[in-house]
Structure 1
Amino acid sequence: MNQPLMNRLLLTGAAGGLGRALRARLAPLARTIRLADIAPIADPAPHEEIVTCDLADAGAVDRMVQGCDGIVHFGGVSVEMPFPPILQANILGLYNLYEAARRHGQPRILFASSNHTVGFWKQTDRLGPDTTLRPDSLYGVSKVFGEALARMYFEKFGQETALVRVGSATPAPEDHRMLASWLSHDDLLSLIEAVFRVERLGCPVIWGASANTQGWWDNSHLDWLGWTPRDNAETFRAKIEATVPRPAPDEAVALYQGGIFTEYPIYQEKDA
């Protein structure tokens, strides 16, 4: 890209793992990258703005979104937890984000949904964009809510959102399950570029996975998007098989697409 696609791009969850991994690499997309998180963010570059924001604070979210042309929403709870923090960050917080976007010109949003929206499908199943949702956790349920909220804002107000069901977005696959679910940082970056480059987005479901030979998810409905993942977890198979014990066939990590999330209890606040 020679010219930035936007004037100001908002990255929420910028202090988290994915935010830290992609922060510098998003620079070509916009003249200014606004980095937001409830946690501290250090050492802003000249093209970066730092915003401290609790997603449950509607006023703070409104100020965070104001002036932005696009939003990459990695913010919120990203693991299974007791319901109260999930409620605040992933449900109330996402509502606040969409209301702020509605008030401030409807900047296009990339919403980091999750493979845990479908975690109870078996690893032998192959899923398309219209598959029945089978969340495996309260975290997964919060992402189902997020997809439904985004769809409603699209249908009612025309707010465009890419519903990206992120698989395992790590530098490299770490176990046998990730040979199917891995999303490389390079492929995620190219997906973000495609989402903000395409003329008309709508509100598509996008499976967030690289071009894995062992993949479970079908993105053939997205030819119009112009995104072609290039990495393949198969490159790491020999290393994983040599260093990572293979789970028994009846273990959740080998049976379900959601892996160990299907085993997590429903945490109560006292268990936190």
Structure 2
Amino acid sequence: MTKLKIVITGAGGHVTRALLPAFRKRYELVLLDVSKETKTGRVEDIIEIDLLDPDVEQYREHFKGADIIVHNARVSNRGEPNFTTGPNHQWKADRPIHPVDGYISERKNLDMAFHSYKLALEENIKRVVIASSNHATDWYETKLHCGEMDMVGPETYPRSDNFYGWCKISYEAMGFAFATGRFGAPLESINIRIGGPRTLDIAKLSKNQVSLRRDLGAWISNRDLQQLYVKSIEAKEVRNKDGIPFQTFYGISNNTRAFWSIANARAIIGYAPDDDSERFYATEIKKYLTEPGRTFSSRPRAMAGQ
């Protein structure tokens, strides 16, 4: 059986590193990033390109003949104070103020996403699976963690109070435009709103019980992340109720404390996560989780007017 040819941008990043053990066995891969050097060592089969270059002819050859693009690329300038962006953790009373120039950094990420969509369209690539983020709806987290909302799903209107979330919302809106067929053949577009794909330090998180419970709800194990991506790549049918090949799935495990819905991922692509943070971290939770339930009863004072 012929393997699907998958182009992965951001091949040296954390999400791709979690995916590669499954992907290398299953697909023919074209790994793209700005450098072969990663946080965990050198990856020799990464092809070095600059996806920020507006001249897509400089790297078009690497997309030719692909079946799917997995767009995980991201430029991060969080170490530079003028470009700091990202979630404000608005359910915390001491949430930081972020510089408005975060827009500049995130606009670069939107440009890279556009280049992937453009090449997919021009090279007749069937589908783009793009790394969106739960922060496309992070404005609702105060409501979720204060008990004013029970669940946020893909059908909830996306709202964010930071440029990181704004960029992810823009990824999704761009993907929808390409999926409609306005620019040519409809391009299948799947957004994965990744939750928390990293190992949780329960002892450290326990210093803020809201953050601890939040991160237990947001967690996704490596094998569940792999399954979600594989099923997003291989699903035969991804059209929505309007006939547009466009879907958005939350990337979390089958968590007891979940506050984002994965019902549509279960129904549409058969996502069946194996793990639950409540069981995976059961020993640590028993030791460090001191407050009951998933939410707290009132807003922190600093948020009273939000």
TM-score category of the 2 structures, normalised to the smaller one: 0.7 to 0.9
Question: Match for 1:211 among 240, 254, 271?
Answer: 254
Question: Match for 1:86 among 88, 91, 106?
Answer: 106
Identity over aligned residues, as a percent? 25
Residues 44-123 of structure 1: pairs in structure 2 closer than 5 A: 44=44, 49-58=45-54, 59=56, 60-77=58-75, 81=85, 82-88=102-108, 90-121=109-140, 122-123=143-144
Question: Match for 1:27 among 15, 24, 29?
Answer: 24
Q: Read off the aligned partner of 1:168 and give its amino acid letter.
A: G
Q: Say yes or no: does 1:38 pair with 2:34.
A: yes
What SS does the aligned partner of 1:118 have?
helix
Distance (Å, rounded) in 1 between the aligned partners of 2:62 and 2:252:
29
Q: Deviations over 1:147-190 (max 9, x none)?
A: 00000000123111211111111144754121111111110101
Distance 1:5 1:104, change over 3 A: same
Q: CA deviation at 1:136?
A: 3.0
C-alpha contact 1:4 1:29 (8 A) present in aligned 2: no
Range that drifts further, 71-80 or 143-152: 71-80
Q: CA deviation at 1:40?
A: 2.3
Q: Say yes or no: does 1:199 pair with 2:232.
A: no
Distance 1:251 1:20, change over 3 A: farther
Gap runs ≥5 in structure 1: 256-272
Q: Read off the aligned partner of 1:11 and give its amino acid letter.
A: I
Q: Deviations over 1:72-100 (max 9, x none)?
A: 21111367533223211x21111111111
- For these two proteins, the number of residue pairs brought into alignment is 244
Distance (Å, rounded) in 2 between the aligned partners of 1:161 and 1:12:
15
Distance (Å, rounded) in 2 between the aligned partners of 1:215 and 1:187:
14
Distance (Å, rounded) in 1 between the aligned partners of 2:201 and 2:270:
25
Q: Say yes or no: does 1:242 pair with 2:287.
A: yes
C-alpha contact 1:169 1:185 (8 A) present in aligned 2: yes
Q: Read off the aligned partner of 1:120 and give its amino acid letter.
A: W
Structure-1 residue corresponding to 2:153: 128
Distance 1:39 1:85, change over 3 A: farther
Distance (Å, rounded) in 2 between the aligned partners of 1:207 and 1:147:
13
- Quote the RMSD (CA, aligned, Å): 2.6
What SS does the aligned partner of 2:70 have?
strand
Residues 108-187 of structure 1: pairs in structure 2 closer than 5 A: 108-121=127-140, 122-123=143-144, 124=147, 125=149, 126-156=151-181, 157-172=185-200, 174=202, 175=205, 176=212, 177-187=214-224
TM (normalized to structure 1)?
0.80
C-alpha contact 2:117 2:128 (8 A) present in aligned 1: no
Distance 1:5 1:135, change over 3 A: farther
C-alpha contact 2:11 2:46 (8 A) present in aligned 1: no
Question: Match for 2:272 among 218, 228, 236?
Answer: 228
Q: Deviations over 1:20-48 (max 9, x none)?
A: 22223211221x2111111324343xxxx
Distance (Å, rounded) in 2 between the aligned partners of 1:164 and 1:173:
24
Range that drifts further, 151-160 or 66-75: 66-75
Q: Deviations over 1:85-117 (max 9, x none)?
A: 3211x2111111111111111231111101111
What SS does the aligned partner of 1:163 have?
strand
Gap runs ≥5 in structure 2: 79-83, 86-101, 206-211, 239-244
Q: CA deviation at 1:240?
A: 4.3
C-alpha contact 2:12 2:36 (8 A) present in aligned 1: yes
Distance (Å, rounded) in 2 between the aligned partners of 1:40 and 1:146:
25
Distance (Å, rounded) in 2 between the aligned partners of 1:159 and 1:241:
47
What SS does the aligned partner of 1:33 have?
strand
Distance (Å, rounded) in 1 between the aligned partners of 2:262 and 2:191:
12
Distance (Å, rounded) in 2 between the aligned partners of 1:173 and 1:232:
16
Structure-2 residue corresponding to 1:262: none
TM (normalized to structure 2)?
0.72
Distance (Å, rounded) in 1 between the aligned partners of 2:119 and 2:72:
16
What SS does the aligned partner of 2:179 have?
helix
